[in-house]
Amino acid sequence: MIPHCPLMAVQDPLPTFLIGVGEAGIEILESVKDVVPEEEAENFDYFAIDSQNEFLNKSSIEKQLYLQQPDTLVERQKERFPFLAEDVNFGVKGAERQRPVGRFKLDNPDQPSFSDNFDTLENHIRRFRQEHNSDLIQQNKHINIILVNSLSGGTGSGTYPLLTAIIHYLAEKIRDNNQMFAYFAGFGIVSEFDVGREVKDLPGDDGRYYANSYAALRDLQRLLNSGDGENLRLPVHSRRITKDSEGHGTSDSIEQALEENAFEFEFPPFNDYFLVGVDEDLIHGERSFVGNERYDQVVDNQVAESIYTLAKHGQAMENISGESDEDSRVGTIIETEVRVPHEKLVDYHETKQKIERLETLLFAGQGSPDFFDTDDLESDSDLNEELSTIKYLVRNPTEVFETMEKERADEKKDDIEEQIDSTFGGGLNVVNRTPEDLNDLIENVEESHDLRVIPYVLDEVEKRINEQEPTVRQNREDTVNDMWKHYELSSHPEYGDVSSVTQRMRNLQDFLREQIEETREELETADESWWDGKPGFRGTREKLEDRLSDRKEALEKLQEAINDYESVQALDEAISEKRSDIERRLKKKKRDLDDARDALNRLEEELTEPLSGRRLAEMPITEEAFEDVSVDKLNNEFTDIKAYLNEGWVDHDDFKSALARRFERGYEDEEKLVLQVAEWEDINDEIADQYRALGGEETMTYIEYNEVNEEVVEFDKVQIGVSESSFNRFTDDRHDPFGVKFVTFVRTGPIEILQHYRQLQKYAEEGDLDELVERRWGGDHRLAFAYPEWYGRDIQRRFNVSQTIELPFPPEPDLEFVELDVENQGELKHEFVKRNGVVSYLYQGAKWENYRDGSTEFNGWKSKLDEVGIGWPYLQELSPPPEDKRHWLVGNVEWDEIVNEYKIALEDQEGVKVEFMEMETKDEATE
Ligand SMILES: Nc1nc2c(ncn2[C@@H]2O[C@H](COP(=O)(O)OP(=O)(O)OP(=O)(O)O)[C@@H](O)[C@H]2O)c(=O)[nH]1
Ligand SMILES: [Mg+2]
Distance CA 786, CA 222 (A): 13
Distance CA 583, CA 395 (A): 10
Q: Which residue has the higher pLDDT, 135 or 726?
A: 726
Burial environment of residue 8 by CB neighbours within 10 A (0 to 12, 13 to 18, 19 or more) = middle
Q: Which residue has the higher pLDDT, 283 or 426?
A: 283
Ligand 1 atom at minimal distance to the Cα of residue 209: 27
pLDDT at residue 377 above 50?
no
Q: Dihedrals φ, ψ of 732, to 5°?
A: -160, 175
pLDDT at residue 729 above 60?
yes
Cβ–ligand 1 distance for 98 under 6 Å, the answer: no
Ligand sitting nearest the alpha carbon of 154: 1
Ligand sitting nearest the alpha carbon of 27: 1
- pLDDT tens column, 742-783: 999 999 989 999 999 999 999 999 999 999 999 889 899 999
- Of the candidates 889, 898, 882, 817, the one whose C-alpha atom is nearest the C-alpha of residue 855 is 817
Ligand sitting nearest the alpha carbon of 187: 1
Ligand 1 atom at minimal distance to the Cα of residue 213: 27
Q: Which amino acid is at 563?
A: N
Residue bearing the CA closest to ligand 1, atom 25: 95
Centre of ligand 1 to C-alpha 168, Å, is: 24
Q: Dihedrals φ, ψ of 678, to 5°?
A: -65, 170
**pLDDT score at 322:** 45
Q: How confident is the model at residue 231 (pLDDT cuts 50, 70, 90)?
A: confident
Ligand 1: residue of 21, 32, 34, 150 to mutate (most ligand atoms within 8 A of CB) is 150
Contacts of 83 (CB under 8 A, 6+ apart): 100, 103, 104, 237, 785, 786, 787, 788, 789, 799
Q: Dihedrals φ, ψ of 637, to 5°?
A: -105, -25
Ligand 1 atom at minimal distance to the Cα of residue 51: 25
Give the start-end residues of each E strand in 195-247. 232-235
Q: Is the peptide bond before 112 cis (omega within 30 degrees of 0)?
A: yes
34-to-28, 29, 740 alpha-carbon distances in Å: 10, 9, 18
Worst-scoring range by mean pLDDT, 118-127, 199-208, 400-409, 543-552? 400-409
Ligand sitting nearest the alpha carbon of 90: 1
pLDDT at residue 849 above 60?
yes
Distance CA 319, CA 314 (A): 9
Bridge partners (DSSP) of residue 44 are 16
Q: Are 151 and 21 in contact (CB under 8 A)?
A: no
**pLDDT score at 370:** 46
Q: Which amino acid is at 311?
A: A
Contacts of 867 (CB under 8 A, 6+ apart): 805
pTM, two decimal places? 0.75
Ligand sitting nearest the alpha carbon of 54: 2
Instruction: Identify the sign of the CA torsion 170, 176, 180, 181.
Output: positive
Q: Dihedrals φ, ψ of 549, to 5°?
A: -70, -30
Q: Is the peptide bond before 750 cis (omega within 30 degrees of 0)?
A: yes
Give the start-end residues of each E strand in 778-829. 803-808
CA-CA-CA-CA torsion for 178, 183, 189, 190, nearest 10 degrees? 110
**pLDDT score at 327:** 67
Centre of ligand 1 to C-alpha 344, Å, is: 32
Distance CA 47, CA 20 (A): 6
Give the start-end residues of each E strand in 507-628. 616-618
Q: Beta 262-265 vs 232-235: how paired, if at all?
A: antiparallel
Q: How confident is the model at residue 733 (pLDDT cuts 50, 70, 90)?
A: confident
Centre of ligand 2 to C-alpha 58, Å, is: 13
Residue bearing the CA closest to ligand 1, atom 30: 24
Cβ–ligand 1 distance for 108 under 6 Å, the answer: no
Q: Are 675 and 746 in contact (CB under 8 A)?
A: yes
Ligand 1 atom at minimal distance to the Cα of residue 96: 24
Q: Residue range 9-23: average pLDDT? A: 89
Distance CA 727, CA 662 (A): 14
Q: Characterise 247 by phi-psi region: left (phi > 0), alpha (psi -120 to 50), beta (else).
A: left
**pLDDT score at 3:** 67
Distance CA 304, CA 297 (A): 10
Distance CA 14, CA 145 (A): 10
- Of the candidates 204, 331, 142, 280, the one whose C-alpha atom is nearest the C-alpha of residue 744 is 331
882-to-436, 824, 829, 885 alpha-carbon distances in Å: 109, 20, 12, 5
Centre of ligand 1 to C-alpha 274, Å, is: 16
Give the start-end residues of each E strand in 92-180. 142-150
Q: Are 304 and 28 in contact (CB under 8 A)?
A: yes
Q: Beta 289-290 vs 293-294: how paired, if at all?
A: antiparallel
Determine the Cα angle at 19 with ends 247 and 111, to 5°.
25
Q: Which amino acid is at 298?
A: V
Distance CA 313, CA 195 (A): 34
- pLDDT tens column, 72-107: 655 666 667 888 887 787 777 788 899 999 999 999
What angle separates helix 454-486 from helix 382-395, to the nearest 10 degrees? 50
Centre of ligand 2 to C-alpha 93, Å, is: 8
**pLDDT score at 800:** 66
Q: Are 235 and 801 in contact (CB under 8 A)?
A: no
Ligand 1: residue of 192, 283, 615, 776 to mutate (most ligand atoms within 8 A of CB) is 283
Residue bearing the CA closest to ligand 1, atom 29: 280
Q: Are 145 and 125 in contact (CB under 8 A)?
A: yes
* DSSP assignment of 407-466: HHHHHHHHHHHHHHHHHH-SGGGGGG--HHHHHHHHHHHHHHS-GGGHHHHHHHHHHHHH
Q: How confident is the model at residue 554 (pLDDT cuts 50, 70, 90)?
A: very high
- pLDDT tens column, 789-843: 899 777 877 776 667 888 999 988 888 888 877 777 778 877 777 778 889 999 9
- pLDDT tens column, 267-324: 899 999 999 999 999 987 566 777 778 899 999 999 999 999 999 887 655 544 444 4
- pLDDT tens column, 509-521: 999 999 999 999 9
Instruction: Identify the sign of the CA torsion 453, 458, 464, 470.
Output: negative
Mean pLDDT (the chain, rounded): 87
Cβ–ligand 1 distance for 190 under 6 Å, the answer: no
Centre of ligand 2 to C-alpha 79, Å, is: 26
What angle separates helix 238-245 from helix 114-131, to the nearest 10 degrees? 100
Q: Are 104 and 83 in contact (CB under 8 A)?
A: yes
Ligand 1 atom at minimal distance to the Cα of residue 93: 25
Size of the chain, expressed as the number of residues it contains: 927
Ligand 1 atom at minimal distance to the Cα of residue 25: 15
